[in-house]
Structures are given as structure tokens and as C-alpha cells.
Amino acid sequence: MSAPVIAIDAMGGDFGPRSIVQASIACLLATPSLHLTLVGQASLLEELIARHSGVDRSRLLVVNATEIITMDDRPSLALRGKPDSSMRVALRLLADGKAQACVSAGNTGALMALSRFVLKTLPGIDRPAMVAAIPTQRGYCQLLDLGANVDCSAENLYQFAVMGSVAAEALGVARPKVALLNVGTEDIKGNQQVKLAASLLQAAPGLNYVGFVEGDGLYRGEADVVVCDGFVGNILLKSSEGLATMIGERIETLFRRNVLSRAVGALAMPLLKRLKADLAPARHNGASFLGLQGIVVKSHGSAGAQGFQSAIQRALIEIQENLPERLHGRLEELL
């Protein structure tokens, strides 16, 4: 396999190019075979790179783009009004074969619209879906969709399940258990779309469908892949991130309350730091757009350098596993 190249939309996210350049250089140091192409305002990016010593510029290129898609821009404006945006240029590098993946922390709606327009979807896929890893008691669960598709048909949910199963296999899960997120585990529970999707999945050959799972069952690790529409998935994801942050802060506050609690906290702090690191949203940052003819990873807009580095690492894994080709082959079997 040739050296992997990832195109980076360097102008997106809450922290902007400074954080993205820092994350990119850290990834290059961690992975000697990796090549990155930063897309954005070239003069600014070159200035930020120059602040870091020992950067291997043979593996770090800069491509100029004169426009930026803001978080407030409508997808229609991104498609028609900003042809030289950093996001679009990065995706074009992927479409033209000059990169094997694209990572962006920019406007999610714009990234999805541009990805579908520039890259197109795989045969048999109506809509791409966003998927990310969620920590559970048994490891991780691949949850999709996370917000790309607010309203979904039963057929959409079926396609998401197939794609999620292949993604989990690529990440090392043998015969992943696939479930539909629902308000109960009984067959009579759920809306019409979920019930119809269950019927389709029960008849799918080679798919390890295990039925419905509730929210608490997701965190118990009852399934390796959990499928829902983007409205539910986005709320669940952000609620999980908020809960993890709140619990960590509450524990720290308790251990600072008095002398005795500080003493106990000093003993427990190594374990608590490890737990906090395991559950930190930054460590699991990076949602993949499954169903495209190319690898696109969306970093959380509020992610700092560590979080953006995780998104780049997810893209690298998908390149190494040749995920689009694996998806294409599996979809031919199941759709």
C-alpha cells in the first residue's frame, strides 16, 4: 500500500487553523508513513507551521483556498456560492485521487452536501450516514446516524445497519451484533419506520441482527452497532458527551470539598484520571460519513487539537482497512 494521504480542511472548527495545524503535526510525528495536505489560507497556514520546529515538509503540503464556509452558512450557499472554499477544495483532492480521505471540523450540513455532490454515494445507498464510536461497558459501539438524516425511512435504517456492520468489522469486531434503538425491546414497541426496518433486518442474510435495544442497553454493550435516525442519534451523542463531562466535574468538586475528601481524592486520582481519559469526548472524536465513494471524517466543531488528532487517526484506520471498497462489496451482497 502506498503512503496514505489525508486532505485536511484547515479552516473549520471553533479553534480554527492553529489547533488543526498542531493536531496535524502531532499525527505526522506519531505516524511516519502519513502524508497530510492542509487546505486553506496558505499564508496563514505557512505562518502557523513555521512556529513548529522539525516538521517534515515532504509529508506536509499546503494548498491555497480563497474562501471559508462558516458555521452559519446554508448548505445551498456552500454548494453554489463558494466554489473555492477550503472544504470543497479538500474534497476535490479526494475525488481526484490526490488524497485517500478528507477530515473537516466545519459546518456539518455543508460538509454532507458537498461530499454527496463531489464524491457521490455508493451504488444502492440513498443517503450517507454519520457514525462514531460510543464507549460501553464492554468496549465500544458504533452508533449511526448522528445527525446527517433527521427523517429516515425503514429502507434508510436498513442501509445504515448494513454500513455500520461493515464499519465495525473493519475495526476488528467479528460478526458484529446489530440492533435498532427503540423505546422498548418488545416487537410491538416503536414507530412504524422502526418496525418496518426490523422486518427488513430480520430477513437480511449474513447480518447478525439481534433486535431492539434501549438507551441503557446501548451503554451495557448489548450490541456492537446501534441504528437510529439522525434526530435521535444526535441528541443521544451530545447528551452522552455532556453527561461524561458533568460526572467528571462533579467528582473533582467532591474531592476538593474538605481535607478528608482531598486526602481520599489524592489516593483515587490516578484511577479517576484514567477513567476521565477513557470517557473523554476528544478521545472518541471523529464521525465517519458512511456510504460515500470516499472517506470523509467529521470532527466535532468544538474539538481541540487532541480531538482533531483522533479524527485524523480514524480516517487513517479507514484508509488502511479500505473501507469504501469493503462497503461496496458487502452492499452488493445485502442490497
Q: Give the three cell numbers for residue 86.
A: 477550503
- Segment 193-216 shows an average pLDDT of 92
Grade residue 326 by pLDDT with cuts at 50, 70 and 90.
confident
Is the CB of residue 237 less than 8 Å from the CB of residue 132? yes
CA angle, 116 then 121 then 123, to 5°? 160
Instruction: Enter the DSSP assignment of 121.
Output: B
Write out the E strands in the chain.
5-9, 35-40, 60-64, 101-104, 129-136, 139-144, 178-181, 209-213, 225-227, 287-290, 295-298
Query: Rounded to 10 degrees, what is the CA torsion of 251, 256, 258, 264?
Result: 60
What pTM does this model have? 0.86
The highest-confidence range among 2-6, 41-45, 266-270, by mean pLDDT, is 41-45
**Separation of alpha carbons 220 and 140, rounded Å:** 10
Q: What is the pLDDT of residues 146-198, one digit of tens each?
A: 988 888 999 999 999 999 998 898 878 999 999 999 999 888 888 899 999 99
For 289, residues 6+ apart whose C-beta sits below 8 A from its C-beta are 111, 112, 115, 128, 129, 130, 148, 296, 297, 298
Secondary structure class of 125 (helix, strand, coil): coil
Instruction: Enter the DSSP assignment of 294.
Output: S
Is residue 256 predicted with pLDDT exceeding 90? no
In this prediction, residue 301 carries a pLDDT of: 81
Q: List the domains of the chain with CATH numbers.
A: 1-125+291-323 (3.40.718.10), 126-283 (3.40.718.10)
What are the C-alpha distances in Å from 103 to residues 9, 87, 123, 180? 6, 9, 23, 28
For 215, residues 6+ apart whose C-beta sits below 8 A from its C-beta are 181, 236
**Separation of CA 12 from chain center:** 15
- Segment 194-215 shows an average pLDDT of 92
The highest-confidence range among 118-132, 216-230, 238-252, 281-295, by mean pLDDT, is 216-230
Nearest to 227 by CA among 241, 210, 244: 210
In this prediction, residue 281 carries a pLDDT of: 52
Is the CB of residue 142 less than 8 Å from the CB of residue 164? yes
Is the CB of residue 6 less than 8 Å from the CB of residue 315? yes
- Mean pLDDT of the residues in the chain: 89
Which H or E run contains 86?
A: helix 86-95
- Segment 230-247 shows an average pLDDT of 86
Q: Give the three cell numbers for residue 329.
A: 462489496
In this prediction, residue 283 carries a pLDDT of: 58
Amino acid identity of residue 213, one-letter, is V
**Separation of alpha carbons 22 and 49, rounded Å:** 8
Nearest to 164 by CA among 6, 294, 331: 331
In this prediction, residue 171 carries a pLDDT of: 79
